[in-house]
A and B are shown apart, each in its own frame.
Chain A
Amino acid sequence: MSVVGIEAMNVFGGTARIGVIELMDHRGLDTKRADNLLMVERSVALPQEDPISFAVNAAKPLIDALSPAERDRIELLITCSESGIDFGKSMSTYVHHYLGLNRNCRLFELKQACYSGTAGFQMAVNFILSQTSPGAKALVIATDIARAVLPEGVELSMLRNSEWGYAEPSSGAGAVALLVSDTPRVFQVDVGANGYYGYEVMDTCRPVPDGDVGDSDLSLMSYLDCCENAYLEYAKRVDGADYASTFQYLVFHTPFGGMVKGAHRTLMRKLSKADRQSIENDFNTRVMPGLDYCQRVGNIMGATVFLSLASTIDRGDYSSARRLGCFSYGSGCCSEFFSGVVQPASQQLLAQQRIDDGLNQRVLLNVEEYDQLMIANRPVRFGVRDLTLDPHGDRYIGAMAKPRPLLYLSQVAGFHRKYEWVA
C-alpha cells in the first residue's frame, strides 16, 4: 500500500487585488526593468480577512463535496503559516470549527517560512503511508498574508522613494487547501522521491509580529543554492532522474516570476549544459504554466508552491499522464525537491474549482484605495484584543461577485475571533 497524494485541492486568492507595476510607480520604484520580474497583480487582504478566513474559504468547497462519512475520516488538520494570530492557539482550531469537522482529529499548526506548506504536506503524506488509521484523510491548509499596514507615526507620503517595504510589490495574500489521502485523484506522489536540503541563514524573516525583514540578494543566492542541492539529493535517490527530461512540468516556489526564471536558467545551464535559446524555450514550455496564478496573487509564502502546482495543472497539457517536479524553499532555511504524477482526469477535477474565475472576481483597487486600506488595516494588528468589523457593509466585499458565500472576520472579543458568512 503506497498510493498517496492529493485527492482534491483549491485556491482562495481573496477579495481584492492591485496592479504591481502601478504600485511600484506609485512608490517611486524604478520600473524600467520591471518586465523581467514577471509580476502582474497581487492580492490585498482586507481588514475583514485574516489567515483563518482565507484558509476556510479555500477548504470549504472541498469539504462540501464530501459525503458525511468521508468528511468524518479527516483525522489530521494542519495549518501551515508564518502569519499566525496567536503564539499558543493554532489557527487549525478555528478552521476545524468553521468547516464543521469531526472532533476525532489532530489539530495543529507548523511553520518554516515559505517551506511550511511542503512540511505539512509531507507530514500528511507520511501519516497516510503509515497506515496507522487505514482510510483516514488529512487536510493541509497553507495560508499566509502580508498585511499592508501603515506603521504608527508614518505618513503615506514617506513611503515614496524609501527603502520601506522592499517586498511590497511581490507580497500577496491567499491560501491553498489540500485534501491528502490514499485516493490521489489530482496529484499522485512519487513515494520516497524527495531531496531535502536546509541550513541556518538569515535571509528573510518575521522577527516582529507584523513586519518582514529581509536581504533580497542573500535570499536569492540561498534559493539558488537550495534549488541545486535539493535536486542533486533527489537525483541521488531516484535512479535515472534527469532534470531536462524526467519532468514534463516544473513547479517552483515563486516569490516572483523573475526569480524562478533565474533559478531555472541556472539549473539548466549547470545540469544539462543547455544553450540560452533552448533554456528560454524550455522555460516557456515547462515552467510558465505554473507562473500564471503566482503572477496574479503574489507571494503567499507557505502556500505559493501549491498555488504554482494548481496553476501547472490548470494551464498544462494533460492529454496523457505527466510527471511534475516541485521545488519548495523557505527562508531561514529549508528546501525540498519532490515529484508526482498528474492524470488527464486530474485536470478535469481541478477545473471544477474554477480557480481562474475566482481570481478574476477579485475587486481591482487603485493606488489611493490601496493606501487607504493601509490605514484601515491598522486596528487589525497582531495581538488585537477587541474589535468590531462589518463585513456585510463593506464596499469591496459587496462589490465582489461571489459564486458561493465566503467567510469574513466580524469581531474580536477578548482575543477570541468570530467570523460570518457573507453571500
Chain B
Amino acid sequence: MAEVKSWDEVYAIVLKHVRDVLPELQSHAFQPSDSLRELGANSIDRADIVMEVMETLSLDIPRVELLGPRCIGELVDLIHAKLGNA
C-alpha cells in the first residue's frame, strides 16, 4: 500500500532517482520547471525514473497513468495526487 507523502518528500524522491539514472546531473541545481527531456533523458531513461519512483513509493498503478507531465514539478504533482493527496 502506498504511503502518504508530502509534495516535498515526493520531489526529493524523484530527484534522487533522476540523479541515479542520469549521474551526469549530480551537481545540477534542479528546478520544478526542469524538463527531463531537455536535461538529456531519452524515453528509456524517463521510464526508468518513473519505475524507480513507483517502486520506492510502493505505487502500484498502470504506468500509462503517469504520462503527460511536461516538467519535473508536474510529474511530482501527478504522483502526489495518485498517492491519495489530491
Contacts and interface: CB of A to CB of B under 8 A. Distances in A.
Nearest to A228: B63
A-side binding surface: helix, strand, loop or mixed? Answer: helix
A218 B62 CA distance: 11
Contacts of A118: none
A225 B64 contact: yes
11 contacts: A33-B45, A37-B42, A217-B46, A217-B47, A218-B67, A221-B63, A221-B64, A221-B67, A258-B44, A266-B51, A270-B55
B64 to A, nearest CB: 5
Interface string A216-259: 11101110110000000000000000000000000000000011
A321 interface: no
Given A262-B47, A262-B48, A266-B51, A218 B64 contact: yes
Given A218-B67, A221-B66, A225-B64, A36 B40 contact: no
Contacts of A259: 44
Contacts of B42: 33, 36-37, 258
B25 to A, nearest CB: 13
Contact of A224 (B40, B45, B47, B55): B47
Contacts of A220: 43-44, 47
A30 B55 CA distance: 30
A262 B42 CA distance: 12
Contact of A225 (B44, B45, B46, B62): B62
A222 B63 CA distance: 7
A162 to B, nearest CB: 16
B63 A225 contact: yes
Interface of A: 30, 32-33, 36-37, 201, 215-218, 220-222, 224-225, 258-259, 261-262, 265-266, 269-270
Nearest to A201: B64
Contacts of A37: 42, 44
A216 B43 contact: yes
A221 B45 CA distance: 12
Closest 10 CB pairs of A and B: A221-B63, A221-B64, A258-B44, A262-B44, A216-B43, A225-B62, A220-B47, A225-B63, A220-B43, A218-B67
A243 to B, nearest CB: 16
A317 to B, nearest CB: 28
Which of B43, B45, B51 has the most chain A CB atoms inside 10 A of its CB? B43
B44 A217 contact: no
Interface residues of B, number: 16
Contacts of B50: 221
Given A33-B45, A262-B47, 14 more contacts: A30-B40, A36-B42, A37-B44, A201-B64, A216-B43, A217-B47, A220-B47, A221-B62, A221-B64, A221-B67, A222-B63, A224-B47, A262-B48, A265-B48
B54 to A, nearest CB: 10
A159 B85 CA distance: 44
Interface in B14-70: 40, 42-48, 50-51, 55, 62-64, 66-67
Contacts of A225: 62-64
Nearest to B50: A221
A141 B42 CA distance: 34
A37 B44 CA distance: 8
Contacts of B64: 201, 218, 221-222, 225
Tell me which of A221, A259, A265, A270 has the highest count of chain B C-beta atoms within 10 A of its own C-beta: A221
B23 to A, nearest CB: 12
A82 B46 CA distance: 28
Contacts of A30: 40
A36 B44 CA distance: 9
B40 A33 contact: yes
Given A37-B42, A224-B47, A269-B55, A217 B62 contact: no
Contacts of B40: 30, 32-33
Contacts of B63: 221-222, 224-225
A53 B67 CA distance: 39
Nearest to A221: B63
Contacts of B62: 221, 225
A270 B43 CA distance: 20
Nearest to B62: A225
Contacts of B51: 224, 266, 269
Contacts of A261: 44
Q: Which of B44, B51, B63 has the most CB of A within 10 A?
A: B44
Nearest to A219: B43
Q: Most A CB atoms within 10 A — which of B45, B62, B66?
A: B62
B37 to A, nearest CB: 9
